[in-house]
Amino acid sequence: MTTSEPTWSLDREIVLTRVLDAPRERVFRAWTEADRLGAWFAPRDFRCTIRHADIRVGGTLRFDYVGANGVTYDNRITFLEIAPPAKLVFDHGADKDDDPDLFRVTITFDAQSNGKTVLTLRQLHPTKALRDAKIGFGAVEIGDTTLDNLAAYLAGDPAAS
């Protein structure tokens, strides 16, 4: 997928939504400040090791997910849009050029009157077959555990205020 705006197709997307007990500014910072992101951004039983962080439009985040068994999965995010504190858009894939499995992520942060935030994460995969394979692999469940980590981080981090 190129950095140009993709054609959005429902049969190629995965959508995750979570209500978080934190104001959207805090939630947005948890996604856009490297030290905060590294503290929670991984599925259950994994940890995130950030190798390079240039969080700005056109910048990249290079990181590894390290499993409890020591297996490492390299990742790269390229930031396409950063609109604090409402929206974040990036391409996510393996840490290699021309990754055929690269997918577009759009995250919106909607403030609620009760101080909570509705986070909606939309992944757009290059093909329906790749999206179906990710779902079959457990992408929805894995994404949910990552958002569980975010909720726990926000609940336990008084410095995130």
Is the predicted pLDDT of residue 46 greater than 80, yes or no?
yes
Average pLDDT, the chain: 93
Confidence of residue 68 (pLDDT cuts 50, 70, 90): very high
pLDDT digits (tens, 9 = 90+) for 23-44: 999 999 999 999 999 999 999 9
Q: Judge whether 14 and 135 are in contact, CB under 8 Å.
A: yes
Read off the tokens for 74: 């390299």
Burial of 76 by CB count in 10 Å (0-12 exposed, 13-18 middle, 19+ buried)?
Answer: buried
pLDDT digits (tens, 9 = 90+) for 141-157: 999 999 999 999 999 95
pLDDT value for 115? 97
Is the predicted pLDDT of residue 7 greater than 90, yes or no?
no
Residue for token pair 């995969």? 125
CATH of 11-160, one of 3.30.530.20, 3.10.180.10, 3.30.310.50, 1.10.579.10: 3.30.530.20
| Size of the chain, expressed as the number of residues it contains | 161
